[in-house]
Amino acid sequence: MQFIDIAVASGYAAVCLSLIVLMSPVAPREAAVEAGAQSSLDSAISAYVDHVGLPFLATSSEAAICSSATEASNATLAFDVVVQGEGCGSAVAPPLPLASSSLTLDLPSRTVVIEAWLVRQ
């Protein structure tokens, strides 16, 4: 009787512990944080494009565009703009960003890709 009791209790405990491990809330929390970071980056890209305007990105020199990307970057947010496959030399992707996002713009005379990273502090 005692043996059965211990076996049932142990079995039930094992099942419960397995369920607790399987239903870990860590993964969805990380997914939520990542989605939030992506939304922040998309808002930052939108603000940058609104600020400089598409005609600027369609007609300006790479140097002028890179300068605007540098101005838009700060301690937690890094921008790079790739014009016809050529990125800004000074802007390098941080080694372990919290999140990254990009937007490809098919403009009349060129393709411009805006890349943004949330930098880990």
Partner 1 sequence: MARKAVAATLASVVLFTALVVADATVMSAQDNLASSAQTSHVESRELLLERSLAGSVSLQVLAQVQGYLSSNPAECDGLPQYLASITASSSVSGEDSGVAYSANATASGATAASLPPTIQRDNLTIIAPFAGVVSGTLNLREALRVKEVGGGGSVSLEKRETHTLNLPIKVDSASSLCASALGALASALSRSPCNATLEQAAFYAALPGLVEEASAQGFALTAGWGLSAACSASYWVTLVEPGVVGATGSFDWTVRGSGTTA
| Identity of the residue numbered 50 | D
Q: How far apart are CA 14 and CA 78, in angstroms?
A: 47
Q: Which of 105, 118, 120, 116 is nearest to 53 (CA)?
A: 105
For residue 87, the tally of other CB atoms under 10 A from its CB is 17
Q: Is 63 in the site for partner 1 (CB under 8 A)?
A: no
Q: Which is nearer to partner 1, 4 or 89 (CB)?
A: 4
Which residue is listed with tokens 């512990």? 17
Closest distance to partner 1 from the beta carbon of 98 (Å): 14
For residue 56, the tally of other CB atoms under 10 A from its CB is 13
Q: Which of residues 2-61 bind partner 1 (CB under 8 A)?
A: 2, 5-6, 8-9, 12-13, 16-17, 19-20, 23-25, 28-29, 31-33, 35-36, 38-39, 42-43, 45-46, 49-50, 53-55, 58-59
Q: Taking phi first (over 0 means left), then psi (-120 to 50 degrees means alpha), and beta for anything else, what does residue 100 get?
A: beta
Q: Which of residues 81-110 bind partner 1 (CB under 8 A)?
A: 103-109
Token readout for 57 is: 């990105």
The footprint of partner 1 on this chain (CB under 8 A) covers a number of residues equal to 42
- Tell me which residues touch partner 1 (CB under 8 A): 1-2, 5-6, 8-9, 12-13, 16-17, 19-20, 23-25, 28-29, 31-33, 35-36, 38-39, 42-43, 45-46, 49-50, 53-55, 58-59, 103-109
